[in-house]
């Protein structure tokens, strides 16, 4: 059986890059230490399996030295000094997959005679956050205080996702790589990213983050679309990175969800409550973190009060994450992982003979009966 000569440095780089425990790889590839030492070489089949396990493009194993990988979009990190770490293979793979979907969707929409979306890149940084937020609300057909009018914050989150898809924005929410439950996305690395396009803007929300935090991520991503700026971001403490556009997006997102005028009107009443942040969170249908951060940015509270709150909030989030159930209905989950708008376009292209099933499977990450089942449910109004 023929063997493939692979650079030991590249092998070690791929293993280290994957972040997988050494024991896991050794159990799956018993000779991996021999490959790394140069005592033996893998077969092509073994190399293909290793590439899949480590989320490494197969072609990288034929390079003489490890490549320098970079995200194709800016990655804004909220850092207090230090050097940003390299992007994880999970993030790289996810961005690349979304780029492929976006490229296909763009071509599909152009073939369908779709016009460019006029709101993409329509905002300027010198405009006030209130003006930009108002234009976003009008485009989405939301009134000021729209979230507060929803019965629960989960209803508000769903309403926002639905409104974004209705105006042509692809919305994807996923906490893992595709449907691989063994490859989770880390909210500490990124809360979301935006791929701006005049025909098919795409926003991705890290579904491993709490649902309450996802609302602000979506609003932040909306602002990116209006400013015409692609990026990934982590938004630690809901703080933007030291970048003018990131800071503008944060201000617009905050104004979209918690308008300054409305917050100031109810602030005195809220402070009389035993838990003012929780009271305001219920009123505005956002997370308590959004409320606390907004209050700090508007100088309604001091930074010391915010940091005290944030320490308790993080501990609560850790406990909630440990109790949070995983999984759920597989087909309902695909609404987030694939996106209803994108799935319907793929289904239409397959039905009209414009797209092969094999390509539809690749684009959606659903194969055979799983693809047919999901598309069938989508056509009947399910899953929701």
Q: What is the dihedral of CA 267, 269, 275, 278, to 10 degrees?
A: -60
Radius of gyration for the chain, computed over Cα atoms and rounded to the nearest angstrom: 23
Question: What CA–CA distances, in Å, run from 158 to 147, 161, 171, 232, 278?
Answer: 10, 5, 11, 22, 21
Of 213 and 160, the one with more pLDDT: 160
Confidence bin at 151 (pLDDT 50/70/90): confident
d(Cα 55, Cα 344) in Å, to the nearest integer? 28
Q: Are strands 231-233 and 75-76 parallel, antiparallel or unpaired?
A: parallel
pTM: 0.87
Instruction: Using the predicted structure, report yes or no on whether residue 281 has a pLDDT greater than 80.
Output: yes
Instruction: Using the predicted structure, report yes or no on whether residue 143 has a pLDDT greater than 90.
Output: no
What pLDDT sits at residue 325?
A: 60
Phi then psi dihedrals of residue 41, to 5 deg? -125, 150
pLDDT in tens, 286-323: 889 889 999 999 999 999 999 898 888 878 877 776 66
Q: What six digits make up the tokens of 353?
A: 């003979």
**Domain extents for the chain?**
8-58, 89-259, 338-380
What pLDDT sits at residue 131?
A: 97
281 and 287 Cβ atoms separated by less than 8 Å = yes
d(Cα 288, Cα 294) in Å, to the nearest integer? 10
Beta bridge partners of 170: 202
């Amino acid at each position: 059986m023929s063997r493939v000569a692979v650079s030991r440095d590249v092998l070690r780089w791929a293993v280290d890059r994957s972040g997988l425990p050494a024991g896991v790889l050794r159990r799956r590839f018993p000779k991996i230490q021999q490959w790394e030492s140069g005592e033996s070489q893998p077969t092509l089949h073994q190399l293909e399996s290793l590439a899949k396990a480590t989320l490494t493009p197969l072609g990288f194993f034929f390079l003489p030295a490890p490549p320098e990988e970079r995200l194709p979009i800016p990655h804004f990190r909220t850092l207090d000094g230090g050097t940003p770490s390299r992007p994880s293979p999970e993030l790289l793979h996810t961005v690349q997959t979304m780029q492929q979907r976006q490229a296909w969707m763009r071509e599909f929409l152009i073939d369908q005679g779709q016009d460019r979306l006029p709101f993409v890149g329509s905002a300027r940084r010198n405009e006030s956050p209130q003006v930009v937020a108002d234009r976003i609300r009008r485009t989405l057909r939301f009134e000021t205080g729209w979230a507060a009018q929803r019965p629960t914050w989960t209803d508000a989150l769903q309403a926002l996702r639905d409104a974004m898809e209705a105006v042509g924005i692809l919305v994807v929410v996923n906490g893992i790589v595709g449907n691989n439950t063994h490859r989770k996305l880390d909210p500490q690395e990124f809360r979301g990213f935006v791929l701006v396009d005049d025909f098919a803007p795409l926003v991705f929300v890290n579904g491993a983050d709490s649902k309450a935090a996802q609302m602000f991520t979506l609003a932040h991503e909306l602002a990116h679309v209006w400013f015409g700026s692609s990026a990934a971001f982590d938004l630690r403490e809901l703080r933007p990175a030291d970048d003018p556009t990131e800071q503008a997006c944060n201000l617009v997102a905050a104004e979209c969800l918690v308008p300054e005028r409305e917050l100031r009107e109810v602030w005195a009443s809220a402070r009389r409550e035993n838990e003012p942040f929780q009271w305001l969170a219920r009123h505005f249908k956002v997370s308590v973190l959004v409320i606390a951060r907004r209050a700090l940015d508007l100088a309604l509270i001091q930074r010391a009060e915010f940091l005290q709150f944030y320490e308790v909030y993080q501990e609560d989030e850790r406990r909630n994450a440990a109790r949070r159930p995983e999984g759920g209905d597989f087909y309902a989950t695909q609404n987030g992982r694939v996106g209803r708008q994108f799935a319907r376009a793929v289904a239409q292209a397959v039905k009209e003979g414009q797209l092969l099933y094999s390509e539809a499977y690749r684009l959606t990450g659903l194969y055979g009966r799983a693809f047919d089942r999901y598309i069938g449910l989508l056509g009947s109004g399910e899953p929701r």
